[in-house]
Structure 1
């Protein structure tokens, strides 16, 4: 058997060397400043940006009992700031203060200070998010409720090492909707007023970490500027309209009987524009199924009449929440965050472009809205009568 020539062996070894050259653009994690959240505030005529940079030891897996298994404290991240005439220059100033290369591709949360959102508007900031190759359009957009973004980004969360991950978890398991940069920008470009979830500091029982944060309220924008907030049951009204209601347990007052606790099982809503004698109207239909989880009345749910009383009371409460929300949006904030104009354009494009859009502010304020709620009570629990 012939042996391969020596030059062929050398050629094959040389080719294999090219496969062992390693990653030419590799970067050690200790050389990177990985931004997990960023915030913007207004200071006089300047913009202040705050970046939340994760400590490298906190980016590993929590398994195995290693150093990466700590819970969330203010020591798991570093907050750096920059000041500039616009968001880009402020971000660049913060970048210069860091001893490591700033990485924005892991930025999960954008927090807008309330004053920034009211005075500056968000168009310039979102323009940077769209154009920067490092940015992700799935970055969540939130507004600091009656405070600054800096005050929010300072706060830890006990169950998560990185606060940005805690915010993501709250959006997935809670009742508040998730609004990312892609959806926010799409609303602005589609002639629909956007909205975002509010985030606010709250007191804790811990002496080491006296404050943390929670998601509450909805920030209402008119075009690219904040104009007000939806609070309490107004938020629920918006969620019913948007079909975003989930994980909700609520208490319904049954007239003359007491209170019944309901847990939402499924929900679906439709927003349909119609023409009545040539004038536009909006019809909102909500369909939902609920389970009874608490009976604080003397009603016996073996009786269909008792179930019907609960169903009627729940339908009336949902309808009232929706109408209360629409009244604030149409007559106080004049903001079309439900996309009624968008729906009219989809169904009647010529009518919208020629007659409605030129005077949309007046049309929207006086736009009739009919609300229909159909709720089914599916289960009443393991017992039908109150334990009282």
Structure 2
């Protein structure tokens, strides 16, 4: 009996210390912001664009179609002196509390990225307890961030989801794009000897028509949004763009290539052979020559032949070896282009300086002050590529080769 009273008293004590859901927020009281766009108006004021989910129009219809009668998202704008001010002023237009815990994308206009920089925006996002630092970040290329977030998209009903999946798929399959989040950009800005690279996103077509629900009713939408290359930064400011075709060299040095497609010529036929990179390994090293760093990049690539538009016998090991040499030359050119571009823009987006700093901090002290402007543009980089063909596809030889052999009989 005594033990029963002790147990009962213990339960009572424990219950008194339990906390309730004092900070709970009902779904009917919040507006879920899936994406945030940041522009500037002619008066130099920040203009925030809030892409907010319409729950009744999303439920049951996330993948195309329409679950409700309206759009899956509603877009509101607010103007303020800074990012926090913009968010507060948005309460004038939105009847619910803006909720950023599910914000998956932040888009900043190209003008802000070039002229003002993005550090103050990142600071505001990093300080907000609701914002996740894993939120993806992009620059609106030749467009307003508001346009990117306002266009209604087919397949993926929520435009922010479409943009994110587009960047992810492009990074995985094409190789000329990357996807980055707020935390990664802050790390690049605060890491010694490393500058950021941020993906671009663009809108094309009739933008006003693209903001209407009718945009979903066309087999060819009036307006679309899509990945648009890589933004090269120096510090927190955008200084140049690299298109997807040339961006693969940057992505390769950053060791973020998952898959890629490389084409090479064969005799008079342009881009006759398509090579699908399936896996790669990259090693970046350096050595000092009288306190001058010389870098070496070694890339080992393995992949399959995806297309052969030339009458050649790909079972012939000599032919395969010749193809591999062409691939090595093509990949090397991509890497050289990326390095030359970065050196011309005087920005170490590859983190070469970081490697020196981490392994030899004393040497870095002598290079740090003028690394981007003087030292980095002058460094020599030796590039070695080892490409090999794993598989030639289902066909041992292209039918073009069989046709050529038939004509010779």
Pair in the same fold by TM > 0.5: yes
Q: Is the 8 A contact 1:41 1:49 kept in 2?
A: yes
CA distance in 1, matches of 2:26, 2:291: 66
CA distance in 2, matches of 1:136, 1:72: 29
Name 2:383's counterpart in structure 1: 371
- Displacement of 1:95 in angstroms is 3.0
- Displacement of 1:188 in angstroms is 0.4
Q: Is the 8 A contact 1:110 1:141 kept in 2?
A: yes
Name 2:407's counterpart in structure 1: none
Trace 1:1-388 onto structure 2 (pairs within 5 A).
23-44=21-42, 45-58=44-57, 60=59, 62=61, 70=66, 75-175=71-171, 176-191=177-192, 192-203=194-205, 208=218, 209-256=221-268, 259-331=272-344, 333-353=345-365, 355-360=366-371, 361-388=373-400
CA distance in 2, matches of 1:179, 1:105: 18
CA distance in 1, matches of 2:69, 2:142: 24
CA distance in 1, matches of 2:148, 2:142: 11
Q: Is the 8 A contact 2:298 2:383 kept in 1?
A: yes
CA distance in 2, matches of 1:148, 1:319: 36
CA distance in 2, matches of 1:329, 1:225: 14
Which range is displaced more, 27-36 or 255-264?
255-264
Partner SS for 2:313 = coil
Q: Would you say how many aligned residue pairs link Structure 1 and Structure 2?
A: 378
Partner SS for 1:329 = helix
CA distance in 2, matches of 1:321, 1:341: 21
CA distance in 1, matches of 2:248, 2:68: 30
Q: Is the 8 A contact 2:56 2:67 kept in 1?
A: no
Query: What runs of 5+ residues in structure 2 fail to find an aligned partner?
Result: 2-7, 172-176, 401-409
Query: What runs of 5+ residues in structure 1 fail to find an aligned partner?
Result: 3-9
Q: What whole-Å deviation, never above 9, does each CA across 1:301-341 have from its counterpart, x for those lacking one?
A: 1110110111111111111011111111111x211111111
Query: Structure 1 residues 23 and 59 mapped into 2: Cα distance closer, same or farther (>3 Å)?
Result: farther
- Displacement of 1:262 in angstroms is 1.3
Query: Structure 1 residues 58 and 137 mapped into 2: Cα distance closer, same or farther (>3 Å)?
Result: farther
Partner SS for 2:49 = strand
CA distance in 1, matches of 2:383, 2:285: 11
Query: Structure 1 residues 73 and 297 mapped into 2: Cα distance closer, same or farther (>3 Å)?
Result: farther
Q: Is the 8 A contact 1:71 1:159 kept in 2?
A: no
Q: Is the 8 A contact 1:157 1:163 kept in 2?
A: yes
Q: Is the 8 A contact 1:173 1:247 kept in 2?
A: no
CA distance in 2, matches of 1:101, 1:337: 39
CA distance in 2, matches of 1:88, 1:220: 27
Aligned-residue Cα RMSD (Å) equals 3.1
CA distance in 2, matches of 1:254, 1:202: 35
- TM-score, normalised with respect to structure 2: 0.84
Q: Is the 8 A contact 1:72 1:163 kept in 2?
A: no
- TM-score, normalised with respect to structure 1: 0.88
Name 1:5's counterpart in structure 2: none
